[in-house]
């Protein structure tokens, strides 16, 4: 017995000594490197890197560790909300979120290995792409460095959206904070540059479905949004994620209501560097599309524990023609297309400029029943996250993993019903009936009347009641 204990003590001592040796050499090596390169940086005069004097001084001591009290206090703040993005040390990179990956394999958060992390960020185009590395800060105050193993981006922009994938150098530990660091610099001990990761759960159930609604801002149509949320909720969607910025008070109230019930996850959102690179949300430019990709990267990592994830806007209704609800629909998809991980919908546009077909209808989506031909116009998808390359999903596309493929869902199985005004690039043709023949289609109206909620009232009446309760009049 005693012999065993001595052995244990000896083993623990060995580990401590080895750890000490490892850190000492690590800190010394990076420091030497640092001294050389700071000089080079100053010479090149790159405006997007700067030399920080406070950082070198805070790196004193032989351990790359951070004062535990400070770690605890700093990350307590994350519980009550944090700044919307965090600037990394030395470079114009702004991290929006850090998300634990591999959640599909996770059953017990407290014992699970967290092998890799997605870092969703914007990067100024003048910061070089390569040779960033990741820094992991653990509960015991220790900081470890690791490589960026995958970099994804979407369209070019001045402040471009990126997703970096980092491997946890100590996968048996859950990091408290993760950040990036520019080339030639050691991991920083400045806690304010670290972002607390979120750890998504595997959603229980076999056919769980989440929707990513991307960004909601300013003048979202409250009637349409409530009709959309209620349609999806009652058709079998389990969760909707939305990113909000500068919302009207009516919309804030509506989102608050659905957030309280746990159905809607609301993530505060804002753009970095708006003073330097003047822009607004929703702009139809490379920069606008790039900014909109940040929520898509975030959603896909955050919702990866759902069996299916759809990326659709608040005015787009996924409409299965042959199934009564989404559960039945995704079941059919899985059975029919067993090697498919990317399901693409063709689009019916209900052009609102054409005018209402029925003024007496009480819902917005039942007032407009004329649509275009079913077409391939800004198509949207449902993906199976487990079988899609991480970081590959954007608004209209995704890359299936090896062995899986994309399919265009036949318009007899399902379509995307899109309620919108004339597309600006259609110009005057939009109202020309030869260019855009109109088809009267009341399939959605019929569905709303046939579909019954738990309380055995029609979905149509249910939505009316909800809108009344939310004090919305249309
Ligand atoms: C750790 O930080 C706290 C709060 O800033 C401070 O009071 C304490 O002296 C620090 N401890 C060490 C060992 O530096
Ligand atoms: C997760 O693991 C911890 C530590 O082993 C244990 O205390 C806890 O009960 C487990 N939780 C579940 C839900 O299994
Ligand atoms: C990244 O690091 C490698 C190896 O140190 C070096 O060869 C390469 O030039 C660096 N790339 C950039 C863009 O600095
Ligand atoms: C999920 O599917 C598995 C295998 O097909 C089955 O054994 C299990 O009962 C299903 N679970 C639920 C909740 O439907
Ligand atoms: C916020 O929204 C209001 C009204 O919708 C608008 O006037 C204002 O410019 C917006 N602010 C920002 C920063 O976008
Ligand atoms: C709706 O479509 C039908 C069939 O093409 C057409 O007769 C009618 O004028 C259209 N009404 C509106 C408001 O677009
Ligand atoms: C639902 O209501 C209809 C009439 O509105 C009734 O015929 C039917 O039995 C009800 N179903 C249940 C399950 O209560
Ligand atoms: C399903 C999945 O994403 N598995 C990954 C978990 O993380 C390890 C290590 O990064 C990967 O090798 C797996 O592919």
Of 286 and 16, the structure prediction assigns the larger pLDDT to: 286
Residue with the smallest CA separation from ligand 4 atom 9 is: 206
- Is pLDDT of 288 > 80? yes
pLDDT at residue 218, rounded to an integer:
81
Q: What's the whole-model pTM score?
A: 0.82
Q: Whose CA is nearest to atom 10 of ligand 4?
A: 206
Q: Which atom of ligand 1 is nearest to the CA of 73?
A: 4
Q: Which CATH number fits domain 209-469: 2.60.40, 3.30.1490, 3.90.550, 1.20.950?
A: 3.90.550
pLDDT 10s digits, 210-257: 999 999 998 799 999 999 999 999 999 999 999 999 999 999 999 999
Beta bridge partners of 316: 418
> Does ligand 5 come within 6 angstroms of the Cβ of 282?
no
pLDDT tens-digit series, residues 5-26? 766 766 666 566 555 545 544 4
pLDDT (average), residues 276-300:
94
Domain limits of the chain?
Answer: 2-193, 209-469
Quick one: pLDDT at residue 73?
A: 76
Q: What percent of the chain has pLDDT over 90?
A: 67
pLDDT at 112: 62
DSSP 301-357: HHTTTSSEEEE--TTEEEEESS-SSHHHHHHHHHHH-TTEEEEEEEEEEEEGGG--S
Other Cβ atoms closer than 10 A to 462: 19
Asked if residue 136 has pLDDT above 90, the reply is yes
For residue 51, pLDDT over 50 is answered with no
Structure token digits, residue 214: 């991307």
pLDDT of residue 29: 37
More confident residue, 347 or 58: 347
Strand 93-100 relative to strand 175-181: parallel, antiparallel, unpaired?
Answer: unpaired
- Residue of 112 and 402 predicted with greater confidence: 402
What's the pLDDT tens digit per position in 166-195? 999 988 888 999 999 987 889 998 998 999
How buried is 456 (Cβ within 10 angstroms: 0-12 exposed, 13-18 middle, 19+ buried)?
exposed
Asked if residue 453 lies in contact with residue 459, where contact means CB atoms within 8 angstroms, the answer is: yes
Give residues (CB < 6 A) around ligand 3.
128, 130-131, 183
Q: Higher confidence at residue 321 or residue 474?
A: 321
pLDDT in tens, 59-73: 333 347 787 777 777
- Closest to 169 measured CA to CA, from 185, 146, 141, 142: 146
Task: Report the chain's C-alpha Rg in angstroms.
Answer: 26
Residue 230 confidence (pLDDT): 97
Q: Residue 106: pLDDT above 90? A: no
Ligand nearest to the CA of 191: 1
Average pLDDT in the chain: 85
140 touches ligand 1 (CB under 6 Å)? no
Mean pLDDT of the region 360-371: 94
The structure tokens 């299936």 sit at 400
Please choose from 129, 131, 183, 184 the residue to mutate so as to test ligand 3's pocket, defined by most ligand atoms within 8 A of CB: 131
pLDDT at 422: 93
* pLDDT recorded at residue 202: 73
Distance (Å) from CA 401 to ligand 8 centroid:
12
Report whether 218 contacts 190 (CB < 8 A). no
Q: pLDDT grade, residue 40 (50/70/90)?
A: very low
Nearest CA to 98 out of 127, 73, 78, 77 is that of: 78
- 396 has a pLDDT exceeding 80: yes
The protein residue whose alpha carbon is closest to atom 3 in ligand 5 is 218
pLDDT at position 223 is 95
Q: 452 alpha carbon to ligand 7 midpoint, in Å?
A: 9
Pick the closest to residue 430 from 416, 420, 440 (CA basis): 420
């Amino acid at each position: 017995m005693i012999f065993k204990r001595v052995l244990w003590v000896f083993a623990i001592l060995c580990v401590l000594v080895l750890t000490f040796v490892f850190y000492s050499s690590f800190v010394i090596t990076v420091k030497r490197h640092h001294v050389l390169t700071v000089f080079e940086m100053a010479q090149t005069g790159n405006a997007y890197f700067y030399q920080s004097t406070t950082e070198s001084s805070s790196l004193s001591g032989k351990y790359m560790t951070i004062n535990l009290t400070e770690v605890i206090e700093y990350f307590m703040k994350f519980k009550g909300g944090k700044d919307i993005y965090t600037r990394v040390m030395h470079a114009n990179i702004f991290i929006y979120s850090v998300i634990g990956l591999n959640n599909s394999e996770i059953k017990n958060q407290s014992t699970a290995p967290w092998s890799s992390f997605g870092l969703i960020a914007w990067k100024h185009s003048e910061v070089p792409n390569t040779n960033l590395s990741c820094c992991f800060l653990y509960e015991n105050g220790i900081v470890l460095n690791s490589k960026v193993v995958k970099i994804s981006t979407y369209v070019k922009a001045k402040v471009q959206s990126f997703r970096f994938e980092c491997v946890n150098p100590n996968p048996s530990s859950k990091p408290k904070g993760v950040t990036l660091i520019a080339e030639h610099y050691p991991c920083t001990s400045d806690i304010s540059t670290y972002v607390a990761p979120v750890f998504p759960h595997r959603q229980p159930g076999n056919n769980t479905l989440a929707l990513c609604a991307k960004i909601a801002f300013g003048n979202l149509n409250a009637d349409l949004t409530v009709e959309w949320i209620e349609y999806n909720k009652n058709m079998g969607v389990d969760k909707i994620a939305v990113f909000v910025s500068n919302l009207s008070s009516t919309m804030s109230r509506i989102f608050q209501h659905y957030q309280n019930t746990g159905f809607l996850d609301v993530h505060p959102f804002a753009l970095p560097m708006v003073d330097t690179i003047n822009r607004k949300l929703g702009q139809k430019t490379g920069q606008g599309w790039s900014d909109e990709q940040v929520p898509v990267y975030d959603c896909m990592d955050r919702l990866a524990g759902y069996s299916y994830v759809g990326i659709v806007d608040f005015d787009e209704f996924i409409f299965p023609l042959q199934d009564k609800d989404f559960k039945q629909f995704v079941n059919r998809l899985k059975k029919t297309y067993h090697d498919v991980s990317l399901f693409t919908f063709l689009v019916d546009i209900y052009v609102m400029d054409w005018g209402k077909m029925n003024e007496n209808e009480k819902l917005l989506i039942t007032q407009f029943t004329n649509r275009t031909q079913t077409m391939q116009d800004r198509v949207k998808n449902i993906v199976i996250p487990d079988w899609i390359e991480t970081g590959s999903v954007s608004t209209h596309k995704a890359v299936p993993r090896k062995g899986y493929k994309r399919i265009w869902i036949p318009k007899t199985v399902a379509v995307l019903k899109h309620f919108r005004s004339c597309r600006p690039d259609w110009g005057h043709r939009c109202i020309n009936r030869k260019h855009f023949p109109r088809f009267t289609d009341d399939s959605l109206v019929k569905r709303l009347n046939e579909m019954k909620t738990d309380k055995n009232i029609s979905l149509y009446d249910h939505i009316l009641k909800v809108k009344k309760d939310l004090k919305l009049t249309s």
